[in-house]
Amino acid sequence: MLLLDIYSFSTLTSSIDESLNNVMVPWLATLTEFVLVGIVFLLFYALLGLFLVYLERKVCAVIQNRIGPNRVGKWGMFQTIADLIKLLMKELITIKNADKFLFNLAPFIVIIASFMAIAALPFAKGLQAIDLNIGIFYIIAVSSLGVVGILIAGWSSNSKYSLIGAMRSGAQIISYELSVGLSVLAIVIFSGSMQISTIVESQADGWWIFKGHLPALFAFVLYLITATAEINRGPFDLAEAESELTAGFHTEYSGIKFAFFFLAEYMNMFIVAAIATTLFLGGWMPFHIGGWEGFNQIMDYIPSIIWFFGKTFVVIYIIMWFKWTFPRLRIDQLLNLEWKYLLPLNLINTVIISFVVLLGLYFK
């Protein structure tokens, strides 16, 4: 635990807060902190989005036995930056008979929803923008706002392809939210708290995917499947099925507005992977084995921020692996999977977990 304190960001954040309060009045210091945190998140959002696009292209290339981007920069590292510049320079096309206000508003709703969800994630020990006592509830609530932007985009575009894509996305997200919520509830029951920092601290002596036995592992698998559908990723990407709907709900968007939808999809993938890491895989906690003190001390030398991002990118790779391995489902198969199989399995698993916790049959 001493090593964990060495790598804690609490000292850094406290010193910044103290320095600002020494030179400013309290309200101005608080406002300055809000602005600094906002700028950091904006930079993080943009850079991570560019990296995830590059990562998916390389992962896709490996799975399909090809090279991927390899022209712009070494190993094609600047390809996504070149694509971003191209999107920024593209003309913003105005659609005839579209509802211009809602058409322009929709991309901002989608990207703001994912931006708000990131705020509650603990990236390392002492590195969290806000630690609410209902953190899990907050993330589920704000992340579900994204579907409002998708529905507005589809309806306001005055396009049959966009409208059908938006209606599919609405049905899909509203349906799969139930199973995502129940999978998350499994860890809330185990930890006895909705505060994210408390859930992470409850895994100091073991991650819940191991401590919770088979029910926790089952909840993790169900979460991966349902969360992949929740963010419209393949093989559940019916909302933007290219072979049927051109590009679905964002068919009529161009330039920076299209880039917002594109970026939000990748950031939502990061968010669901980070939630899986936080709830099931110990968050920023290192991997410990009971009785192996030497091994545990070596694990403690690895900084908490590396643990968090390492686990998160493993989950992201699994989600990418899903997309490039399985064929796309039909919309009826998608909804049947949720209502006839995943939701009943989640309900049964939640009841089992309740009895496991009540009888104390898990590792404490």
pLDDT band at 196 (very low <50, low <70, confident <90, very high): very high
Please give the average per-residue pLDDT across 224-246, as a whole number.
79
pLDDT band at 6 (very low <50, low <70, confident <90, very high): low
pLDDT band at 220 (very low <50, low <70, confident <90, very high): very high
Please give the average per-residue pLDDT across 67-77, as a whole number.
87
Quick check: 187 pLDDT over 60? yes
Per-residue pLDDT of 267-302, as tens digits, reads 999 999 999 999 999 889 888 877 778 888 888 888
pLDDT at 351: 94
Q: What percent of the chain has pLDDT over 90?
A: 34
pLDDT band at 84 (very low <50, low <70, confident <90, very high): confident
Q: Is the dihedral of CA 4, 8, 11, 14 positive or negative?
A: negative
